[in-house]
Structure 1
Amino acid sequence: MEFCPNCGKMLMPKKGMIKCGCGYEKSLTDDDIEKQYHMEGETKPQSKVIVTDNKNVALPTTRITCYKCGGTKGYWWTVQTRSADEAPTNFIRCAKCGNTWRSSN
């Protein structure tokens, strides 16, 4: 890795040259590029993707009574729907029919 001797900016090679905005230029050989700019390291391990459906929801649950179907299990989450100085809005979704509403706290 090289830095501009005039202004100190980090220089990256492009088409066998390093150029700086201040006017500094230098030619590089393929060997220079391989030694100074070829980077090896650990690759990020592949992440496993979890596929879910309506029966496998990754939200906290609570006991509710759905006004549409009478279901007793609900999923809940909180969203800041207004300005930061106001209380967040809590939502509940019936696990049985999917009906969603705002909770009244």
Structure 2
Amino acid sequence: MEFCPNCGKMLMPDKGKIKCRCGYEKSLKKEDLEEQYHMEGETNPEAKVIVTDRNNVALPTTTITCYKCGGTKGYWWTVQTRSADEAPTNFIRCANCGNTWRSSN
């Protein structure tokens, strides 16, 4: 892998050359291109994709009391909604009705 001597961006292969968006280009031998820029994706035919829906949520659970339906199981997650020097915001979603609110912690 090489970087542009003009702007420092990574040079990408294109039609037997490596080029930069700034206009710089350099010719390479076919062997060098294959050695430096040949990438292979995952070839595992057994790989499976997990699809989740409302009935199969991949979030941690906690015991709650939903103020809308009275449900007792909730999913929770944390999001950094403000700057990094402030505490993150915790959210809870009722597993029964889907009602979502911020945690008071």
Fold agreement, TM-score > 0.5: yes
Structure 2 length-normalised TM: 0.64
Q: Give percent identity, aligned residues only.
A: 73
Alignment of 1:5-20 (within 5 A): none
1:45 paired residue number: 43
CA RMSD of aligned residues (A): 3.5
Q: Deviations over 1:15-61 (max 9, x none)?
A: 56789x59xx87x8xxx52x333346754235532111111000000
Q: Which has the larger radius of gyration?
A: 1
The answer for unaligned runs of 5 or more in structure 2 is 2-10
Structure 1 length-normalised TM: 0.64
Query: Number of paired residues?
Result: 90
Alignment of 1:1-105 (within 5 A): 21=24, 32-33=29-30, 35-39=31-35, 43-45=41-43, 47-105=47-105
The answer for unaligned runs of 5 or more in structure 1 is 2-10
Moved over 4 A (4+): 11-19, 39-42
Distance 1:14 1:66, change over 3 A: closer
